[in-house]
Amino acid sequence: MWNSVWHLLLSICGWAVFAYMIFVLCFYFTMFIISAFQLRKQYQLNDEEPYEDLLAVSYTTPLSILVPAYNESVGIIGSVRSLLGIEYPEYEVIVVNDGSSDDTLEKLIEEFSLVKMNRVVRKQVETKEVKAVYRSKLYDYLYVVDKQNGGKSDALNAGINLSNYPYFCSIDGDSVLERDAFLKVMKPIIDSDGEVIASGGSIRIANGCKIENGAVVSIGLDTQPLVVMQIIEYLRAFLMGRIGLSRHNLLLIVSGAFGVFSKRWVIEAGGYSHTVGEDMELVVRLHRLIKQKKTSNQIVYIPDPVCWTEAPDEIKYLRRQRNRWHRGLFDSLWKHKEMLFNPKYGSIGMISMPYFVFIELIGPVMEMLGYLFIVISLVVGGIYVEFAYLLFLLMVVYGSLYSMAAVLLEEWSLRKYPKVSDIAKLFFFSLTESFWYRPLTVIWRCHGLLDVIRNKKGWGDMQRKGVSQ
């Protein structure tokens, strides 16, 4: 009897994973088609002239750039320098030192000749105590806020309170922007006359690139396989996932490393929430606010404006990052669970929320069941072996070929990697993904869900080596 029950459970598990993989593959294939058409349509246009027009002050909207920094001593100077030299007519840079325990603040004071200023900060959103506000004697549009530690969301809220302009951009302290990135990411906001309330750009891995004085001199690949796989992962997430969702205003995440928001809308939504996934949680709240106000405002993704950021090159730090990301995903979805399959929220409730719940959140669990089924089937033998081979082949298609398609889109449109050898290397590593890298990320993300059950909080320490030379 127990033998029959065991075989029945094994069969149900196998067929459930198989059906799930088929469904996900169909969904991703649809996303690939949408993304390919959208990318091709965009890059057949001559978009040099519109961006040059935006350099005139009369065409642009002033922008506040917020840089939350906690123990970013290694890379903060290069990141700030990259912002001081961007192509944009009117902007301010506000670095928020969130109670760093290293010499982040001291480096900023020395490098940019900062002096304390008497500034009354209007508290539009609640934050930890602000100790001091500094202004640069060299660049009158550079400010530094020194405050008690409260986490990234609290630092961003402090920056919002200090900012002077109607739109703000959040930038990670270890990031470097391409010079025309803001012209490109702000264009849909300016063209829409306020219809677009948030706009996000692409994040790329800076490891392996040559960066001097806050500017990307040449683009290349890192030699470490772990970093190369992250490059592929980012290409897949941004060029396929976000383009497809943004096309129909279904985007639920604008990366905290590079995103522009309407200050008025963010303040009305309550600012950034204290959670490990503050960037996604804010975007979901903005969508809720749009539906509640019954407006047609949009949140969009623009693939070309690129922000280069440092990626973890050691397994222990990458594991912490992916664990944290998955906990943040769960937290954001759980806080807004009433939106799931709720027609009141339109396509966000009926398409976008289910996608993030059943594919992004539960996906690692289903993949883990698939790996367990394959291992058990090979041990049990019999009729399950052939099915295990079929399931493994399907998972290879799901992982590796999907990543190869993302590399193809990169070469077809943006072409950020000029060397043919780099593209060949990306293709090769895409082919190997299902055999080592994807199982690792599945384990880390599943562990993140276990940490949710155990009510584990916090970011975990991350090591920064610095990308700017």
Q: What pLDDT, on the 0 to 100 scale, is given for residue 460?
A: 61
- Minimal CA–CA distance to 332: which of 321, 322, 340, 343? 340
Q: What pLDDT, on the 0 to 100 scale, is given for residue 46?
A: 46
Q: Give the HSE-up count for residue 27: Cα atoms under 13 Å, Cβ half-sphere.
A: 17
Q: What pLDDT, on the 0 to 100 scale, is given for residue 119?
A: 79
Query: What is the CATH code of the structural domain delimited by 61-345?
Result: 3.90.550.10
- Minimal CA–CA distance to 63: which of 176, 135, 195, 159? 159
Partnered with residue 202 across adjacent β-strands are 306
Q: Using CA atoms, how far apart are residues 37 and 43, in angstroms rounded to an integer?
A: 10
Q: What pLDDT, on the 0 to 100 scale, is given for residue 422?
A: 87
Task: Answer for the pair 241, 303: CB distance below 8 angstroms, yes or no.
Answer: no
**Tens-digit pLDDT profile for the chain (469 aa)?**
666 777 778 888 888 888 998 898 888 888 888 888 877 776 655 454 455 666 565 567 899 999 999 988 888 888 888 888 888 888 999 999 999 989 999 999 999 999 999 877 788 999 999 999 999 999 999 999 999 999 899 999 999 999 999 999 988 877 788 888 888 888 889 888 889 999 998 888 988 888 877 678 888 889 899 999 999 998 888 877 788 888 889 999 888 788 899 999 999 999 999 888 888 999 999 999 999 999 999 999 988 778 888 889 999 999 999 999 999 999 999 999 999 999 999 999 999 999 999 999 999 999 999 999 888 888 877 667 888 888 888 888 777 888 888 888 777 766 778 788 888 899 899 988 988 999 999 999 999 999 999 887 766 665 665 555 4
Q: Using CA atoms, how far apart are residues 155 and 96, in angstroms rounded to an integer?
A: 6
CA 132: distance to chain centroid? 30
Q: Using CA atoms, how far apart are residues 219 and 363, in angstroms rounded to an integer?
A: 33
Q: What pLDDT, on the 0 to 100 scale, is given for residue 39?
A: 75
pTM of the model: 0.89
Q: What pLDDT, on the 0 to 100 scale, is given for residue 465?
A: 59
